[in-house]
Structure formats: structure tokens, C-alpha cells
Amino acid sequence: MKKTATRLADGRELLYYDCRDDTVREVVDRRPLDPVTTGSEIRRDPLLGDFVAIASHRQERTYQPPPGECPLCPSRDGRVSEIPAADYDVVVFENRFPSLAGDFGRCEVVCFTPDHHASFADLDEEQTALVLDAWTDRTAALAARPGVEQVFCFENRGADIGVTLGHPHGQIYAYPFVTPRTALMLRSVDEHRRSTGGNLFDDVVARELAQRERMVLMGEEWLAFVPYAAHWPYEVHLYPRRRVADLRGLDEAARAEFPRIYLELLRRFDRLFGISGPPTPYISAWHQAPFHAPGRDDFALHLELFTIRRTSGKLKYLAGSESGMSVFINDVQPESAARRLREAASQ
């Protein structure tokens, strides 16, 4: 992998990640852009104790442009975009409309491919490995920034999820606090350690290996299963067999196998509701340990992949119980979901 750092016309950082070490990146962004100004702030809810990002400037962000005006495509044929080069492998750059900025964190965009009409599942294993390298590199770089407590790499795919840009891309958030979801996990891990002396993540994985009925994929280095108490109709958790706290801890064997396992999972999701229908909307989310929180060494890196589609043509909406009380009601039995995902295997 070769990484080349540059700046966009408004001062934002942009990084090219290339498969070839001899790739040269010298194109300059000459757009007449004003410096980015944001009104991002973090407010703490006194009743729940969690944090809310207030980012009213995001009302003006680009929304569902036609393919010919996509800001994530390369700059070609006289049209300039957020990416000055005429082609690229993987690109990461600071979001022009960030949810978190300045003293309140950082938001980055990750473009997986220059092909506007592709999806992550269309990538080959070499390109997927490069995306993993980029996620890992950005996790390491953002971990070194003052005030960053946690890094979250994720992808939202599909209009039903709410994406504003159709180009295959993800995001990376660097939070100045430990997120509520992670704080709950750390609390459960601590309680489990105190009551049993064991590691909660290890015990969860061991149970799934023993029972097998919710297991979806088993590799030499990775395991994928539907969780016992899945929140979403089709939800898979992907764990490396050797527990590590974040992406930086993956060894070469785990990094080498990841592309094959992850691409197979994504392709199974796309086959769940028939190959002739619209692509399956999903969220893919890396759960990484906070950098300074107690219990970091007990945390287990894992990827959560889920769809809000519960059956063909029907979505799972977060209604009263879910949105009002955070009590999920799942329409699909986890064991049935796992069985369908096993049946959707590539031939």
C-alpha cells in the first residue's frame, strides 16, 4: 500500500491509498472554495448522561445528486469533484459537512472505488484489503490526535438507510467521548468479569461455536454469526478468532482472510431478497475499543452488519418501543435468519 497526503482547495486533508507503490499523485485541487466553517457542538443530555452532536450546518449538504454531478467520483472530462485525480483506488478525506469538527472530533469520508455504480460487494479481494488497510491507518492516525477517545468506521448503503450520496463510500468518526453503545458493552464486560472471572466476548463467541445454530460463516481466522438477541431482522456479527481491541491489533493471517469472508457476507445479504430486487440496504459498523477507557484490554473488535429490511418490500421501522424506550422488537427469529444466510451462500 502507498499513501499520499494532499490538501483540498479549502484546506481539508485528502489521502490517496493505492495498491501500487509506484503510483504518483500530483493533481492539485484548484476549485475556488472558501474555508469550511461549521457550527458543530456537543451537548450532554442530563437525564440519560449521553452526548448529542448539534450540527445544523449539515442541512445544506449535498443530497442525492444525479450521477453526473456526484462529488465522490474522480475529476474527469472537465468536471471537478472532491477528488482531484482522474482515477483512484481508495480515498479518504475530511468531510465538508461534518457532524463532528474541531474540538468536538472529526469526520472523514472513505471512497471505496471510483466506480459510481458499484457496491462494496463488487470489489475484489485486493481492493477490499486496501480498504481494510485504510481503516486501520486512519484508526492509528486519529488515535494519536488530542481529545479523540474512540474511532468508528462504518458504511451506510442504500436510500432506505438514508444515504445522501449513492456512490459507494463509508465514513470514519473520531469521537471526543466514549459512545453510549460502547459504554454499555464495557459495563457488561466489567460485570461479567466480576461475576465469572471470564471475558464476556470470549464466552459469547464460545457459546455460538458450541451451539452452531446461529453460525453463518466459519473461517480459519474469522467467525460470523447472528447474535442470540439480534435487534434487527438480519444481523450478523463478525469476530476475529483471536481477540484484539481494535483494527491495529489484527495479525497478518486475519488481515489476509478478511476480504474473502467479508465479501461473502455482503453478497449473501444481497441475495436474501432475490437478485432481481433492489440492493439490500445495510449498515456495516466496526466496534473498536475506546483508547483510554478502563476495560479496553477486555474489549473485542468486531463488525456488525445489519439490514432494516425484514422481508421483500418491507422495512423494519423504529417505532414507539424502539425509538421511545430503546426496547427492540424483532420480527425474524435469529435462528431463522442464520439459516437463510447460510442458504444464500455463493455457489
**DSSP letters spanning 39-84:** --EEEE-TTT--EEEE-GGGGGS--S--GGG-TTSB-BTTB--SB-
Query: Does 210 lie in the same domain as 316?
Result: yes
Percent of the chain with pLDDT over 70: 99
Is-contact 153 139, C-beta < 8 A? yes
3-state secondary structure of 112: coil
In the listed set 175, 194, 209, which residue is the last one of a domain according to the structure? 175
Query: Does 332 lie in the same domain as 190?
Result: yes
Query: Does 276 lie in the same domain as 151?
Result: no
Q: What is the CATH number of the domain that holds 51?
A: 3.30.428.10
* Residues annotated catalytic, as ranges: 169
Q: Quote the domain boundaries for residue 166.
A: 2-175
Across the chain, what does the average pLDDT equal? Answer: 95
Query: In the structure, what pLDDT confidence band is assigned to residue 347 with cuts at 50, 70 and 90?
Result: low
Query: Does 196 lie in the same domain as 159?
Result: no
pLDDT of residue 326: 94
Percent of the chain with pLDDT over 90: 88
Query: Does 66 lie in the same domain as 19?
Result: yes
Query: Does 294 lie in the same domain as 261?
Result: yes
Query: Does 186 lie in the same domain as 143?
Result: no
3-state secondary structure of 159: coil
Q: Within 10 Å of residue 52's Cβ, how many Cβ atoms?
A: 11
- CA 311, chain centre distance (Å): 23
pLDDT of residue 64: 83
3-state secondary structure of 231: coil
pLDDT of residue 277: 67
Query: Does 75 lie in the same domain as 171?
Result: yes
Query: In the structure, what pLDDT confidence band is assigned to residue 276 with cuts at 50, 70 and 90?
Result: low
Query: Does 198 lie in the same domain as 229?
Result: yes
Whole-number Å distance between alpha carbons of 140 and 143: 5
- Please tell me the pTM assigned to this model: 0.96
Q: Do β-strands 51-54 and 41-44 pair in parallel, antiparallel, or remain unpaired?
A: antiparallel
Question: Any idea what DSSP says for residue 296?
Answer: G
Query: Does 163 lie in the same domain as 198?
Result: no
Number of domains observed in the structure of the chain: 2
Cα-only R_g, the chain:
20
Q: Which helix (H) or strand (E) holds 108?
A: strand 106-111
In the listed set 175, 191, 226, which residue is the last one of a domain according to the structure? 175
pLDDT of residue 287: 98
**Which one, of 99, 124, 98, lies nearest residue 113 by Cα?**
124
Query: Does 202 lie in the same domain as 73?
Result: no
pLDDT of residue 94: 97
In the listed set 175, 210, 241, which residue is the last one of a domain according to the structure? 175
Query: Does 193 lie in the same domain as 166?
Result: no
